[in-house]
Amino acid sequence: MISGAAFRPPTRADGGDAVTRTLRYLLAQGPSFAAVTAGPGPIRWADATGHGTVTPPAVHAVDTLGAGDVLHGAFAWAVAQGAGARRADLVAALTSASGVASRSVGSFGSRAWLGPAPTSD
Ligand SMILES: Nc1ncnc2c1ncn2[C@@H]1O[C@H](COP(=O)(O)OP(=O)(O)O)[C@@H](O)[C@H]1O
Ligand SMILES: [Mg+2]
C-alpha cells in the first residue's frame, strides 16, 4: 500500500515522525508492505520487520500532476511482472516505479511523456 506524504491517517498514533506514523497506519490495514512518497525526496517503505528508502532520480520537474498515479500504476505493473512479493521484489518494483514517475514529471501534462500510442498493425 502506497500513499503520498500529504496523507494523514484518520486515527491518532504516538511515536515517530509523521511518515513513521503513516507507515504504521498503512501496515495496520493489512498489506505486507507500505510506502510513502515525497515528491523528489526519498520514498520511505516499511514492512513487519524493517524499513528503508528509495531515492527517485533527480530530474528537472516541469509538471508533477499525476506523479502519484503514475507511480502507483508503474508499481502495480512491476509487481505483476515480477517473480514474487518478497521484500526485495517489492523494493525493486518501487525503485522501478519511482524512475517512471520521475520521468513523467519532466514534461507538461500528465501523459505527454508517454509518447505516441503504439499502432496495431
Ligand atoms: N519534483 C520531482 N522530482 C523527481 N521526481 C518526482 C518529483 N515529484 C514527484 N516525483 C516522482 O513521483 C513520485 C510521486 O510523487 P508525489 O509528489 O510523492 O505524489 P503525490 O503528488 O501523489 O503526493 C515520487 O515518488 C517521485 O518518484
Ligand atoms: Mg506531488
pTM of the model: 0.92
2-108 CATH, one of 1.10.730.10, 3.40.1190.20, 3.10.129.10, 3.40.50.300: 3.40.1190.20
Which tens digits make up the pLDDT trace of 2-58? 999 999 998 777 788 999 999 999 999 999 999 999 999 999 999 999 999 999 999
CB atoms closer than 10 angstroms to residue 24: 16
CB atoms closer than 10 angstroms to residue 49: 6
Q: Cα(88) to centroid of ligand 2, in Å?
A: 25
pLDDT of residue 94: 97
Q: Which residues surround ligand 2, an ion (CB under 5 A)?
A: 39, 64
Reported as half-sphere exposure (CB side, CA atoms, 13 A), residue 20 has a value of 6
User: Cβ < 6 Å from ligand 1: which residues?
Assistant: 4, 6, 37-40, 43, 56, 59, 61, 64, 67-68, 71, 98, 101-102, 105
Q: Tell me which amino acid residue 64 is.
A: T
DSSP string covering 20-70, please?
A: HHHHHHHHHTS-SEEEEEETTEEEEEEESS-EEEEPPPP---S--TTHHHH
Domains of the chain: which residue ranges? Answer: 2-108
Output the nine-digit C-alpha cell for 117.
Answer: 500510442
97 within 8 A of 78, measured Cβ to Cβ: yes
Which tens digits make up the pLDDT trace of 105-121? 998 887 888 877 767 76
